[in-house]
Structure 1
């Protein structure tokens, strides 16, 4: 499993439009081969700051499969104009895992 992590800085005043566009874009990413799950989190302290976490089966599922797809072109059209500056995407692989009580309660 690969975790894609992206810190998003959304242009001031466009946060609600971004959240709406992200809801529209979510089915695009979730339809991809190798996709596992995704979450979008809004920062409590900094307006316009979001954290996107996407789980993929493999790195290739993201960088070749999704980014090389027509769905990614739609994703870009819906979302990329909201970012300033444009975000850096990083990928992580698990080393140590665990579950807290809160995570268990949501399942």
Structure 2
């Protein structure tokens, strides 16, 4: 499994709307090929900063299948207006688990 980590900076004062839009988008991820998990985290120190963490079976499930889908277009339509800057996305894989 790989994890997509999207570093998202939103416009100030739009937290409730952004979080509601992400909640509305959960079914888009649930229905996506190879999507195993999805969560949104908000920074305590920097309130306009979020991390979207999505677990995918393969890199291609995210980069090819999801990004090329209508679900991705719907996702961006729901959340895109909240972005203060384009999200920075990286893909990670677990190499050590402590417990």
CA apart distance, 1:87: 1.1
CA apart distance, 1:80: 1.4
How many residue pairs are counted as aligned between the two chains?
Answer: 99
- In the alignment, the residues of structure 1 paired with residue 67 and residue 32 of structure 2 have an alpha-carbon distance, to the nearest angstrom, of 10
**Residues 12-23 of structure 1 aligned to structure 2 (within 5 Å):** 12-23=12-23
| Secondary structure of residue in 1 paired with 2:17 | helix
- Structure 1 position 69 matched with structure 2 position 69: yes
Which structure 2 segments of 5+ residues have no match? Answer: none
| Secondary structure of residue in 2 paired with 1:65 | helix
Per the alignment, residue 85 of structure 2 pairs with 85
Question: Residues 42-93 of structure 1: CA distance to partner in whole angstroms, max 9, x if unpaired?
Answer: 1111121111111000000001110111111100100111111111110012
- In the alignment, the residues of structure 2 paired with residue 40 and residue 95 of structure 1 have an alpha-carbon distance, to the nearest angstrom, of 22
| Secondary structure of residue in 1 paired with 2:50 | strand
CA apart distance, 1:28: 0.4
Tell me how large the CA RMSD over aligned residues is.
Answer: 0.9
For the pair shown, the structure with the greater C-alpha radius of gyration is 1
Runs of 4+ in 1 over 2 A off after TM superposition: none
Which structure 1 segments of 5+ residues have no match? Answer: 100-107
- Structure 1 position 24 matched with structure 2 position 24: yes
Question: Residues 12-42 of structure 1: CA distance to partner in whole angstroms, max 9, x if unpaired?
Answer: 0111100011100111011111001011111
Per the alignment, residue 11 of structure 1 pairs with 11
User: What is the TM-score when the length of structure 2 is the normalising length?
Assistant: 0.95
